Every structure is written in C-alpha cells, then in structure tokens.
Amino acid sequence: MRTSKSRASLAAPVLEPVLVRKEVRCAVRFPLALPVAMSTGKEEFAAVTRNVSASGVLFELDRELEVGQCIGFTLRMPGAVLGTPHDVLVRCRGRVVRCSISETQYLAAATIDEYQFAEQ
C-alpha cells in the first residue's frame, strides 16, 4: 500500500528572516570633547562630550544615568565648528537613550529634544 505525502510536507522549509540591527543616523556627528554642565533635576555634575550632532550627544561621565531619564545640559559650541566669529553657549533639554560603561567611565547617549542659544 502506498502512502502519499501532502504537498506541504514536501515544500522547502521556511526560513525565518534574521533581524540585523542597523543604526540609522539622521544627523552628522562631530567628534568634539567639550566640557558640559549637566543636571538631572536632582543633582548637577560635570561631563565631557565625545561627539555631538544636531539631534543628540554622546557623553563621558563618572556616573550611570537611567535610560529614559530627562536631563539638561549646557555646552559652549566653538565658533569654528559653527562658522561664527564667537563661541556659542547652548542650553539643551533631552533624555538618555543609552548608557554603558567603558574601562574607565560611563558613556551616555542622549537626544536633544529642545535647545536655546544663550546671550553672550
């Protein structure tokens, strides 16, 4: 007696797609090490930028920040970078989107949700 297999069992196995995480950048990053005054609303402390873009900043700091935490920070952008005759003080509000630790310090990536240029 002959048995027949269904067509479905003879079909090639279905391969699940592999999801590859690819970073999508919406702004050019500038590798700038600038001193920053940071505030979480509860405390103020110093940090240094590792890179800066129009939409976010990567900070080096001595403490861990929580993902989702709202922060404020002030930095002085060099006139040479901005194409202006003088440095510009920028006050920003944003939120932490990633935090990790390197061999010697914490790294925190944050969005810039709003900013204003301070009077010089």
Give per-residue pLDDT as tens, 16-61: 555 555 555 567 888 999 999 999 999 999 999 999 998 999 999 9
Residue 24 placed within a domain: no
Confidence category of residue 13, pLDDT binned at 50, 70, 90: low
Q: What is the pTM of this model?
A: 0.74
Residue 8 placed within a domain: no
Distance CA 71, CA 69 (A): 6
Average pLDDT over residues 99-119: 92
Residue 82 placed within a domain: yes
Domain that residue 79 falls in: 29-117
Looking at the 3D structure of the chain, how many domains does it have? 1
Asked whether the beta carbons of 56 and 75 are under 8 A apart, the reply is no
